[in-house]
Structure 1
Amino acid sequence: MNYSYIIIDDDQESVLKTKAVADSFSELTFLATAHNYEEGLNLILEHTPNLVFLEIDPADKKSNLSLLLINELYRYLKIVPRIIVTTSKKELAFESIGYEVADYLLKPLNRIDLVKSILKLNKSNTEPEAPISRVAVVDEKPISVVEVETKSEEKPLILCIKSYGDYRYIDAKDVCYFQADNNSTDIYLNNGEMITAFKTLKHFESILSAPFIRIHNSYIVNRNYISRIHTGNAVCYIKNTTVKIPFSKSYKSNVDLVISEFSNGNYIEI
């Protein structure tokens, strides 16, 4: 099978080395390269490649390259490209598994590793799809998101807040918003209850996708519970409450995305 690909890496030398290895395969077709999060996202949406070689531990932190790019792709694409992580650190492999990446290759890439990746891709494309099960557990250890997908139905995501043998199960659809509290996060539910999880807000941002979206350094909101957005005052209102959540300039693009999503639905503007 043939695969088109994009390389997203902040290190130009690494880009050239990855491309050199990939160019030795007739089934791989090069499309473009990007050096930061925004460029990479735009290229993927524009070219819709089959494969993306993604660096997730960039030397230039301002490039914002990370696994979060995968979450963003699910906002726009029904079929997300296969992601092959390329990095020099083994430690990030466990976290990558939670994002269901196609493969995890250590730099510098060598030909035999890419041979194995392509063989696995070819095999997965010829095998019938099986239901995918993932469960989300939040505790003192690294957490992975769990959700069950089948062709006939998609079961709701359950968050499990685990602490010292106590398992607390929450329907993700019942969460209105998350608020940072130093190294923990307060989870506010639609029944007025608040539950504390001993994970940072950044951690929740890394494991959650739509309808959850970050709008402030201290807040992630469930778009389904936003009743009003006041851009002049830079606040979002939560349904059936008096809560007003601020949004910051650095996350204004996310708020614009929410406004756009509302307008693309069954919508009348008066």
Structure 2
Amino acid sequence: MALEVIEHHTSKVPFVDLRKTFTDAFSALDYLQRQPVDLIFLDIKMPDISGMELLKSLQIVPMIIFTTAYSEHALQSFELDAIDYLLKPFSMSRFLKACNKANELHLLRSAKTDGGKDYFFAKDGYEHVKIAFDDILYIEASGNYTQIQLTGRLISSRITLNELTDLLPKADFVRCHRAFIIAKNKVEKFDKAHLWVADKMIPIGSTYHDLKLH
């Protein structure tokens, strides 16, 4: 029944292509050795081995969304870098939210592996917006969102600063504070405690005083 729910939900999500379902973990492992995938919807309580044990046995780990009736494994799942943790029964809207998180990470990773690109896509509301590196002034963590300040536009996304630190060209961007990344060539002036980008005064964190702007 749980597999039928996932099959129904994935059929409604245009960017998810469900390739195979399994009730036997060892058959799933055999398939994964032959057919690499981007994302697995994984239960925890299964015959023979648990979902956690299956995940730890993988040499190449795809994105994981746990689908389970047991809430006590949530912390461990995120320690294993799971994308999301869906508690049964879950609604279509909650399922879609998890899929959107996976898709956003997939787009980020795709942009990162293509070194020739000078842009990436970030989710802003219901849209994925193309962001050119040259248009970025600074980036600020704000609650559950990250604010990407562009020339003439502000993008609010769920991308984390750590993900953006890995994604952005290190020659052009630098972390100056736990809550800020700045474009080096957009800095107008700076002192020991602050720097200014487009009239925005940005603090320099105590652990970032040795940052290099050129």
TM-score (norm 2): 0.47
**TM-score, scaled relative to structure 1:** 0.38
